[in-house]
């Protein structure tokens, strides 16, 4: 452990086993794998750093499926956030203690006397599948549960980047690592199993669980229903700017692995096991890092085993028709990625990535996409940000609504149009995260605290969906005293709910022109850009 990590642990704390009593039994919850003692602040009790596996993925467990947890009669502190999965710098979660031993979860509940089991919302964080973590202050759910004491929130950690999504089976000794390409998803599945088997002890209803995520986390929430044996663990999904389109092919995954091996000078998994997690993350960051080069190469793999080869086909065939969805996108998704690289740096990146993608298109598709770009007569970066926003987030989000609805499922779809006060970002990616978690002080993307009544209404609709499967609010339930009737997405009118500070209201997709059906909808066939 480095000196910096030791200092961080001293500052933030590290959970220990409790021996000899001396703890507040009213804050202790007996679970299968131990009794965990939380901390109470006001009327909210938090339980942080609870392991949901039997062994952490270190040493010979690196790149192996999560180890199931086992019965444990011990008593443990659940006071502090666990480690963030080892990652390259950039995300705020990377400023906390890092490590491969990162498979833990946090829980928040109100301290009330109700005997009724509460709906459970399980948050899966975003970060392009390579950064982020439960220690992110934005995912501190005290404020959210204090305002909405009728739900319990769980925040899950999982393996990221080269540790969680790394194809190895094509290597000479890779046959013993058949799951390495989708370990992050398997970690989440194990966490959901833990929640299903233990959340009742916290007052939660294991039969009323909503998966909830943003960006990569939302992508995971839309992939988990397609994985064998998962749907028994949840009945609803909230997906903010994430879909099964955020996946890659085995060929793309292998290409990234081979580049990584070349950079490390390694040829086998055995050699990779001798490389520190920090070195792996640094190398991955240099080659593909989100904050280093806007890589966006990390993603779950359509391997035909853990994930289907054609996720859209699975949705079209009704694989998730029994799961209710609340999902949507932001108007200017890709604008958020411009400021860190500057306009010129972003345009240089976008030109190269556009060329790569156009090489996959038919001549007709190239002409359509080029026509779309040329039709945008705004700032120099807008044709590129619009194209990649459509490709990665917006068109796939509408397709998810289309496929779910065609298959007989339910999709409550939103379109977030409230704008940041920061230059360029507008209604960009992730701007709504601080809103839904009630952290107005986090202005990283918003540049300001958004209107409180608007923000509270959004949170109320999210909670109402988790409780009932319908996000609509009566006038009595709505913070502004006005009913919010959220229509289901339908194939004729394609209705969505517009989330705008000036007024939350339903509208037809044709009025909003969210997607260009002729010139950008086909982009969903190509998955990750």
- pLDDT (tens, 9 = 90+) of the chain, 529 residues, equals 566 566 566 557 899 999 988 899 999 999 999 999 999 999 999 999 999 999 999 999 999 999 999 999 999 999 999 999 999 999 999 999 999 999 999 999 999 878 799 999 999 999 999 999 999 999 999 999 999 999 999 999 999 999 999 999 999 999 999 999 999 999 999 999 999 999 999 999 999 999 999 999 999 999 999 999 999 999 999 999 999 999 999 999 999 999 999 999 999 999 999 999 999 999 999 999 999 999 999 999 999 999 999 999 999 999 999 999 999 999 999 999 999 999 999 999 999 999 999 999 999 999 999 999 999 999 999 999 999 999 999 999 999 999 999 999 999 999 999 999 999 999 999 999 999 999 999 999 999 999 999 999 999 999 999 999 999 999 999 999 999 999 999 999 999 999 999 999 999 999 999 999 999 999 999 998 7
Q: Where in the chain is the domain with CATH 3.40.50.1820?
A: 1-309, 326-529
CA neighbor of 214 nearest in space, from 132, 296, 159, 150: 132
Helix axes 250-264, 277-288, angle to 10 degrees: 120
Q: Which two tokens stand for residue 51?
A: 């392991």
Instruction: Pick left, alpha or beta for residue 21 (phi over 0 → left; psi -120 to 50 → alpha; otherwise beta).
Output: left
Measure CA of the first residue to CA of the last residue in the chain; give whole Å: 38
Can you identify the CATH homologous superfamily of domain 326-529?
A: Alpha/Beta hydrolase fold, catalytic domain (3.40.50.1820)
For residue 4, the model assigns a pLDDT of: 59
Distance CA 120, CA 362 (A): 45
Q: Which two tokens stand for residue 265?
A: 């000078």
Can you identify the CATH homologous superfamily of domain 1-309?
A: Alpha/Beta hydrolase fold, catalytic domain (3.40.50.1820)
Report the DSSP pairing between strands 324-330 and 75-77.
unpaired
CA neighbor of 172 nearest in space, from 267, 68, 252, 66: 267
Is-contact 291 285, C-beta < 8 A? yes
């Amino acid at each position: 452990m480095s000196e910096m990590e030791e200092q961080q642990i001293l500052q933030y704390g590290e959970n220990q086993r409790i021996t000899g009593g001396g703890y507040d039994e009213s804050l202790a919850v007996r679970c299968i794998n131990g009794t965990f003692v939380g901390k109470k602040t006001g009327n909210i009790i938090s339980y942080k750093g609870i392991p949901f596996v039997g062994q952490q993925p270190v040493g010979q467990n690196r790149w192996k499926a999560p180890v199931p947890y086992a019965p444990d009669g011990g008593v443990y502190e659940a006071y502090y956030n666990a480690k963030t999965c080892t990652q390259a710098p950039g995300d705020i979660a990377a400023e906390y203690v890092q490590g491969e031993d990162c498979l833990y979860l946090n829980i928040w509940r109100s301290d009330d006397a109700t005997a009724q089991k509460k709906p459970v919302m399980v948050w899966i964080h975003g970060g392009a599948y390579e950064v982020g973590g439960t220690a992110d202050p934005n995912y501190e759910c005290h404020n959210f549960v204090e305002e909405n004491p009728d739900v319990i929130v769980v925040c899950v950690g999982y393996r990221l980047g080269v540790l969680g999504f790394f194809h190895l089976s094509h290597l000479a000794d890779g046959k013993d690592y058949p799951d390495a390409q989708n370990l992050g998803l398997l970690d989440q599945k194990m966490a959901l199993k833990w929640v299903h088997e233990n959340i009742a002890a916290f007052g939660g209803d294991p039969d009323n669980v909503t998966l909830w995520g943003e960006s990569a986390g939302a992508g995971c929430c839309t992939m988990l229903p397609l994985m064998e044996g998962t749907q028994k663990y949840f009945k609803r999904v909230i997906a903010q700017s994430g879909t099964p389109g955020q996946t890659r092919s085995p060929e793309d995954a292998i290409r990234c692995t081979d580049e990584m091996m070349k950079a490390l000078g390694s040829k086998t998994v055995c050699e990779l096991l001798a490389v520190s997690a920090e070195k792996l993350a640094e190398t991955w960051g240099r080659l593909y890092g989100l904050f280093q080069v806007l890589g966006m190469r990390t993603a779950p793999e359509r391997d035909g085993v853990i994930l289907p080869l054609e996720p859209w086909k699975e949705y079209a065939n009704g694989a998730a028709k029994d799961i209710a969805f609340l999902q949507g996108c932001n108007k200017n998704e890709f604008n958020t990625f411009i400021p860190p690289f500057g306009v010129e740096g972003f345009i240089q990146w976008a030109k190269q990535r556009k060329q790569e993608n156009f090489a996959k298109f038919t001549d007709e598709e190239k002409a359509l996409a080029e026509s779309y770009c040329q039709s945008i007569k705004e700032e120099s970066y807008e044709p590129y940000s619009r194209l990649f926003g459509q490709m990665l987030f917006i068109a796939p989000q509408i397709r998810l609504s289309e496929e779910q609805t065609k298959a007989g499922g339910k999709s409550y779809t939103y379109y977030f149009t409230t704008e940041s006060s920061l230059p360029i970002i507008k209604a960009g990616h992730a701007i709504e995260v601080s809103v839904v978690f009630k952290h107005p002080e986090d202005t990283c993307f918003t540049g300001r605290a958004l209107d409180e009544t608007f923000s509270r209404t959004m949170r109320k609709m999210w909670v109402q969906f988790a409780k009932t499967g319908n996000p609509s609010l009566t006038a009595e339930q709505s913070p502004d005293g006005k009913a919010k009737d959220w229509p289901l997405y339908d194939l004729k009118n394609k209705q969505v709910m517009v989330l705008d500070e000036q007024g939350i209201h339903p509208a037809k997709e044709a009025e909003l022109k969210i997607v260009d059906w002729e010139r950008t909808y086909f982009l969903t066939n190509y998955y990750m850009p």
